[in-house]
């Protein structure tokens, strides 16, 4: 498992005090299981965000409450189990809020407006005097992810996109002190199409005939970003895109 091999080394290399990972589809390409959650957390990840496939494994809706460090999109219907944001502590005692949002453009999921959901959450965090706030916007459209980043600019420490699997090269600290990247990329095989078997995907796309999209588990690349920030102000001072091959 790439996360188990690479996360501890990356935390040491960059001196990371806190680690957030999107665990979407860690269960063989379809949602999450308790086993996946335990493996990711045991690897050194502090908080796991998710997205539109969080309930693909049916039993997980009954298990997510056992893991306060696992978030589902905050703008999902309130009747759904789990929570969409939380306040956590790094080893040095710094309070860190993590918000999980899902987009609505080209995304097949029932969800509320992510902009208004973010406003409600930020009002709560303001009352709790939490300054260091990190946002995962799980969305398809780059325009929606950029819009969320600009909408939250100056109000949160960092906004990053997930869901489209391909790491983007637009990382920057926005003028008001919010780190942004449109998509962190995936943890998956370089010799694949979004983590799936190349021949099967091409066959389906070229012929229209169904094929099982097997997950490829060789030549795995872990993608992400490291954000530097001032914990007293909650403002980002740097962001660096990273991509590392897992040991074979």
Report mean pLDDT in 10-residue bins for the chain, 248 residues.
89 96 92 95 97 96 97 97 97 95 93 97 98 98 98 98 97 98 96 95 96 92 97 98 90
Alpha-carbon span 126 to 179, nearest angstrom: 19
pLDDT of residue 248: 66
- What's the pTM? 0.95
pLDDT of residue 147: 98
- Report yes or no: 152 and 217 within 8 Å, Cβ to Cβ: no
Alpha-carbon span 143 to 123, nearest angstrom: 25
Alpha-carbon span 14 to 226, nearest angstrom: 8
SS3 202: helix
Nearest to 123 by CA among 158, 94, 150, 99: 99
pLDDT of residue 2: 83
Task: From the candidates 5, 53, 138, 165, give the one annotated as an active-site residue.
Answer: 53
- Report yes or no: 49 and 136 within 8 Å, Cβ to Cβ: yes
Pairing of strands 158-162, 187-189: unpaired
Q: Cβ neighbours of residue 169 under 8 Å, at least 6 residues apart?
A: 241
Please confirm, yes or no, whether 163 is among the known catalytic residues: no
Q: Name all contacts of 181-185 with Cβ < 8 Å and 24+ positions apart.
A: 181/225, 181/239, 181/241, 182/142, 182/145, 182/146, 182/149, 183/142, 183/145, 184/22, 184/160, 184/223, 184/224, 184/225, 185/221, 185/223, 185/224, 185/243
């Amino acid at each position: 498992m790439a996360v188990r091999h690479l996360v501890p080394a990356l935390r040491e290399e960059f001196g990371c005090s806190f680690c957030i990972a999107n665990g979407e589809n860690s269960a063989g390409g379809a949602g999450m299981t308790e086993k996946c959650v335990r493996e990711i957390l045991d690897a050194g990840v502090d908080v796991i965000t998710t997205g539109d496939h969080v309930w693909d494994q049916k039993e997980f809706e009954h298990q997510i409450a056992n893991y306060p460090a696992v978030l589902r999109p905050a703008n999902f219907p309130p009747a759904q189990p789990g929570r969409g944001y939380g306040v956590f502590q790094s080893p040095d005692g710094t309070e860190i809020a993590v918000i999980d949002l899902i987009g609505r453009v080209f995304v097949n999921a029932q969800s509320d407006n992510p902009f208004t959901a973010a406003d409600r959450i930020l009002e709560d965090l303001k009352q709790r005097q939490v300054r260091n706030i990190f946002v995962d916007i799980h969305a398809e459209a780059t325009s929606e992810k950029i819009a969320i980043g600009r909408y939250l600019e100056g109000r949160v420490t960092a906004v990053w996109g997930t869901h489209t699997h391909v790491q983007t090269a637009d990382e920057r600290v926005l003028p008001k002190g919010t780190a942004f990247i449109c998509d962190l990329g995936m943890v998956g095989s370089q010799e694949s199409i979004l983590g799936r078997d190349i021949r099967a995907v091409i066959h389906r796309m070229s012929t229209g005939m169904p094929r099982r999209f097997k997950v490829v588990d060789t030549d795995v690349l872990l993608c992400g970003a490291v954000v530097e920030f001032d914990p007293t102000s909650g403002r980002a001072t740097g962001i660096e895109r990273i991509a590392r091959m897992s040991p074979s």
